[in-house]
Amino acid sequence: MPFWTYLLHCADRSFYVGHTDDLETRMGSMEQAVSLDTQKRACR
């Protein structure tokens, strides 16, 4: 089954790595979600 791997660069200069088989839904949920924690709030 194919999937997407993504890498986000966060405001605290760390990286967040994830994977999904539905990228469009995942990107939408990340935009609406509360951050991973308060220091990583601005991930892009």
Contact in structure between 12 and 36 (CB atoms under 8 Å): no
Per-residue pLDDT tens digits for 2-26:
999 988 888 788 888 988 998 888 8
**pLDDT score for 21:** 94
Q: How far apart are CA 10 and CA 32, in angstroms?
A: 16
Q: Between residues 22 and 37, which one has the greater pLDDT?
A: 22
Residue from 43, 8, 36, 6 nearest 21 by CA: 6
Query: Residue 8: what pLDDT?
Result: 84
Confidence class of residue 34 from pLDDT cuts 50, 70 and 90? very low
pLDDT at residue 38 tops 60: no
